[in-house]
Structure 1
Amino acid sequence: MSEYQLTLNDKSIAWGETLDIEPLIGSYTNDTIRKGTGAALDWNLPSGIYRAKDVVNELDKLLEAMLVQLGEPVNSDPSVLLDSLQANLAISGRESSLPLGPLAFEDRAGVELTDQAVRIGEQLVSWAREINSQKRALSQYGTAKLEELEFRSHCYHHTLIPDAVAQVFGPSGGPRVMQLYNEYLHQFVLLRDALLPFSNWEQVPFQVKEHTEFKGLRFLEPARKTFLTQLFGRDLSHKSIVQYAQSVVSSGLSTAGYGFQYRLGTILPAGLGATAATAPRYLLKWHPVQTIQLEETTELTAISFDYEYEDYYAALRNEAGGGTTEKGDILSVSGELYDRQPFKARLFPIIDAGRAVLRFIIEIDGREYAVDLGQIFRGHRFLYRPQGSEDFENSSDKLPPLSFHQAVDILSHSGLVTNTVGVHLIRTGRNELVVWAVLGKLYPENVILLDMADIEELSSAHAAGKGFGAKFLVL
């Protein structure tokens, strides 16, 4: 097995062993349409490993059965049923199953998940239209078998567009078709909501096990209910997103850190391998890697990644010191790491007393600097960005004095780095690996990430963050 490597422009982050899960995808233990308890045929997702599009493939069999039972050609127009699916997966409107749009979230978690819901819903509907146009289920089962499909769908909450109501409850429709369509819609809603935590949701593999008491993805309903209650109640934390993700992929974990490993890969915050200024702060990302090598004899199949400092407020803090005061354009002295900057970082796991901690390690001038990966993500979630200043004046005389620090000086401290007073600018050589490492070393209270560090941005940064205490500007 080869080492897994994540690229970030001309930089990289390496760790663990790459997993090849492709042979596991699509190998199912049963047929989707099979003999039920009575005379009719039933539908269920067979046990196996799925990605999102695989589930859409299996759900199309429900739609094909509906179209057969509605009759050809006038009463079985798939576009009407698919338009109603699109309305259900939208984030606003009468038929929306997840009306996030009207809530207009301003918190970052809410904004990121709202954008996710839009992206995922649109792609799922696109796949549903594409797959149905191919008529795979009709070719596989034939008209007679699809005509026999019948079951009770226990869900009453999905609203249809008027044309779909006329079709499903019209002369060719009725209770049998309505039950199939209700399950079709509900499974799509469960699929969309299950994928919300993951930035690369199309790639995430998850396990489905057949249950006699409920169908398909309904095993996710308890976790989904808790997750959506927190989301709509504006009480959603990063930890609760991780907990929900653990349920979605059937990790078996009962406690949550900031990420985890399960048998099909590793889930970490989506910022890893991205630019800190624009990276998601609350979404997660699946990686095809076994981060921690497990012994073949162990029964452990999943591991939660813990913060080194569970309570960062109580963590050891060290003063950054006064730094240096320099005259002139700070841009001219901000790239001192250029000739000695690291181009590769690695993640190193430490397991002690049942806890798994990951360290982010970079090398500068032959010396290694290690930072807790969890604290890096925590620092990223808590950072500020410069805010527009209406009273901006093009003069450095109006700005508070700056103290300058090299990133290596910050990274050399133990614990977390802070100061009691002053505005401190940390130069990273504009190296993203160094930026991430510094975010993990600073006490995450009053940290502002800069882009340009020109006079206008420095003025905006002065207005950002908390109105008290020392302020750290990371360039």
Structure 2
Amino acid sequence: MQEYQLTLEDKQILWGKPIDIESLIGKEPNDSIRRGANEALDWNLPAGIYRAKDIVMELDKMLEAMLVQLGEPVNDDPTVLLDSLQANLAISGRVSSLPLGPLALEDKAGIELTAQATRIGEQLVSWAREINSDKRTLAQYGPETLGKIEFRSHCYGHPLIPEAIAQVWGPYGGPRIMQIYNEYLHQFVLLRDALLPFSNWEEVPFEVKEYTDFKGLRFLEPVREVFLTQLLGKKLTHKSIVQYAQGVVSSGLSKAGYGFQYRLGSVLPAVLGESARTAPLYLLKWHPVQTIAADDTQDVTAVSFDYEYDDYYAAPRIEAGEGTPVKEDAFSLPEENDDEPSIARLLPSSGTDRTTLRFSLEMNDRECSVDLGQLFRGHRFLYRPKKNGDASGALVKRNTSSVHLAADILSRSGMVTDSDGIHFIATGGNELVLWALLGKLYPENVVLLDTGDREELEAAYISGKGFGTQFLLL
């Protein structure tokens, strides 16, 4: 069976069965413009599988209808309406729908999602401008049809920039235009917010079912409200981000682990397949793969991926051992002589009520595997050397320093820790080995180095909690 392949430079992670997602996109049998109950033409997303840009293309039909109905004075120019959309999707300003900028979120999850909201909002507006410039909607339907679109937008309303207010409520506008424009803005806000958890948000496919009592993406409003309450209240956790992502893609799952599988793929923390030094800590990434493969005659089962130990504090622990002693004034480390693994595999284990995944690789003719969930947890808890830190009074004296081979650490059972000392582990620059170690080491006072030079080591010694044993990964 062909395996899904995730590549980082010359390293690969293999698992599951690839999904041909392209064959499912854009197969909606119905039109988003159709006749409503009052004989006016209505707009609603047809049931189907969409990506973000597909939704923007459907939303352009509302924008083009507004331009037609505003008439000649607008001169077919969407600039004002799109400028107001851009202001609405910005993270600051009077009309911002998600004012994360003024909140100055300083928690790691908040920082990542603030940057994510900016990126997504800017790209959505860019697509909206590009798609409308082609005038495909006008060519497809003609001004007569677009001039008949009318519906009620059930929303309190989004604020507009002054130029948009003058245009929408001016002599050629009115309540009919405002209703369409309000729905247009609201659908973009729902789309932007739905994509916040995903690092590769442009690629994520999600299923839309057509409802008669609300339009388009409004089915997302309940899960969005819970998520934004946690985000704005600065109480966001990795689990709550996963829970929200499950709702966005209509997985049907109620409980949340660290990732999940749904009909259209698998969603895991974004660090997998990225450098541990630069990967986001809280964002997720969609992969077109059945991690838990179904028979050809069965639909893909929605599955939540669980940690081997829900509470890592209660997991079995084992001491790292003595290793090779290092002199206190020695700042060069012996090179790692272990074989360089180039392939790792994700191995699922499904029980009656839970599914776990193991990250497995081969070193020195030995198979080494760790719980994938613990690997991600270890990455979130990872420390980096403090830069420009004040070392006065912060350095806790540790009695010993030693070097360990990565293969020796990974071959041990349970989670590796120690009672004292500084423990160096060289990875040889191998990301697969680094990730495996993050799943094996007890996630406390683990520091990731870049060069291991004297300056970085001195910064590393005062990083972390400042007490207890310390593991330095190089």
Which of the five TM-score ranges fits, normalised by the shorter chain?
over 0.9
Q: Does 1:305 align with 2:305?
A: yes
Residues 46-445 of structure 1 mapped to structure 2, 5 A cutoff: 46-74=46-74, 76-295=76-295, 301-327=301-327, 330-337=331-338, 340-390=339-389, 401-445=400-444
The Cα of 1:408 is off from its aligned counterpart by 1.2
Per-residue deviation at 1:155?
1.2
CA distance in 2 between partners of 1:302 and 1:289 (Å): 12
2:190 match: secondary structure: helix
CA contact (8 A) 1:392 1:456 kept: no
Amino acid at match of 2:114: T
- Shift of residue 296 of structure 1? 5.2
Question: CA shift at 1:297, angstroms?
Answer: 6.2
5+ residue gaps, structure 1 = none
Instruction: Provide the C-alpha distance between the structure 2 equivalents of 1:125 and 1:326, rounded to a whole number of angstroms.
Output: 56
**Taking structure 1 as reference, are residues 193 and 174 closer, same or farther at Cα in structure 2, changes over 3 Å only?**
same
Q: CA deviation at 1:30?
A: 1.3
Give the Cα separation in 2 of the matches to 1:244 and 1:471.
35
SS in structure 1 of the partner of residue 325 of structure 2: coil
**Aligned equivalents of 2:390, 2:106: Cα separation in 1:** 25
Determine the C-alpha separation between the residues in 2 that align with 1:392 and 1:380.
25
SS of residue matched to 2:344:
strand
Partner AA of 1:382 in structure 2:
F
- Give CA-to-partner distance per residue, 1:308-367, whole Å, 9 cap, x none: 111111111111122221347554513333xx1101111111111231111100101111
SS of the residue 1:333 aligns to: coil
Distance in 2 (CA, whole Å) between partners of 1:299 and 1:202 is: 25
Q: How far is 1:29 from its partner?
A: 2.9
Paired residues of 2:331 and 2:454 also in contact (CA < 8 A)? no
CA distance in 2, matches of 1:388, 1:298: 53
Give the stretch that moved more between structures: 287-296 or 55-64: 287-296
The 8 Å contact of residues 51 and 204 in structure 2, kept in 1 or not, is answered as yes
- Aligned partners of 1:332 and 1:422: how far apart in 2? 16
Q: How far 1:58 sits from its partner (Å)?
A: 0.2
Report the TM-score when normalising by structure 2: 0.96
2-structure distance, mates of 1:98, 1:154: 19
Equivalents in 2 of 1:330, 1:361: separation in Å?
Answer: 32
Q: Count matched residues.
A: 470
Aligned equivalents of 2:176 and 2:416: distance in 1? Answer: 65
Please list, as runs of the form range in 1=range in 2, the aligned pairs for 1:35-50 lying within 5 A after superposition.
Answer: 35-50=35-50
> 1:23 — aligned with what?
23
Q: Give the share of equivalent positions with the same residue, in percent.
A: 69
Contact 2:293 / 2:300 at 8 angstroms: preserved in 1? no
Deviation of 1:76 after TM superposition, in Å, equals: 4.7
Paired letter, 2:169:
F
In structure 2, runs of 5+ residues without a counterpart are none
Alpha-carbon separation, structure 2, partners of 1:312 and 1:179: 52
Q: Which whole-Å deviations, capped at 9, do the CAs of 1:399-441 have from their partners, x for residues lacking one?
A: 9752211111211111111112111111212211000000001
Aligned amino acid, residue 381 of structure 2: F
Give the deviation of 1:300 after TM superposition: 6.3
Alignment CA distance shift 1:443-1:367 (3 Å): same
Distance in 1 separating the partners of 2:385 and 2:85: 41
| Distance (whole Å) between structure 2 residues aligned to residue 128 and residue 320 of structure 1 | 56
Contact 1:389 1:459 in 2 (8 A): no
1:75 positional shift: 6.0
Asked if the contact 1:325/1:403 (under 8 Å) is kept, the reply is yes
Q: In the aligned structure 1, how far is the partner of 2:269 from the partner of 2:447? A: 20
Q: Which residue of 2 aligns with 1:452?
A: 451
Matched AA of 1:409: D
- 8 Å CA contact retained: 1:306, 1:356: yes
Q: CA RMSD in A?
A: 1.8
Q: Find the aligned partners of 1:68 and 1:298 in 2 and give their Cα distance.
A: 47
Distance 1:294 1:410 in 2: 35
Shift of 1:263: 1.1
Distance 2:455 2:191 in 1: 45
- Could you tell me how far apart the structure 1 residues matched to 2:193 and 2:445 are? 34
Larger deviation: 304-313 or 465-474? 465-474
CA distance in 1, matches of 2:441, 2:117: 33
Aligned equivalents of 1:341, 1:37: Cα separation in 2: 66
Whether the 8 Å contact between 1:389 and 1:463 is mirrored in structure 2 is no
Residue 241 of structure 1 aligns to which amino acid in structure 2? I
Task: Return 297-306 or 423-432, whichever deviates more.
Answer: 297-306
Q: Distance in 2 between the 1:98 and 1:335 partners? A: 48
Q: Is the 8 A contact 2:336 2:405 kept in 1?
A: no
Tell me if structure 1 keeps the 8 A contact 2:446–2:464: yes
State the TM-score, normalized to the length of structure 1: 0.96
Cα distance, 1:88–1:437 mapped onto 2, change above 3 Å: same
Secondary structure in structure 2 of the residue aligned to 1:201: coil
Instruction: Determine helix, strand or coil for the equivalent of 2:472.
Output: strand
- Contact kept? 1:361, 1:369, Cα under 8 Å: yes
Per the TM alignment, residue 107 of structure 1 is displaced from its structure 2 partner at its CA by: 1.3
2:367 partner SS? strand
Q: Is the 8 A contact 1:335 1:430 kept in 2?
A: no
Is the deviation greater in 102-111 or in 221-230?
Answer: 102-111
Contact 1:75-1:167 at 8 Å conserved across structures: no
SS of aligned partner of 1:126: helix
- Aligned-partner Cα distance in 1 for 2:275–2:256: 25
Residues 4 and 18, structure 2, Cα contact 8 Å, conserved in 1: yes
**In the alignment, residue 355 of structure 2 is paired with which amino acid?**
A
Residues 299 and 291 (structure 1 numbering): CA distance in 2 closer, same or farther, change over 3 Å? closer
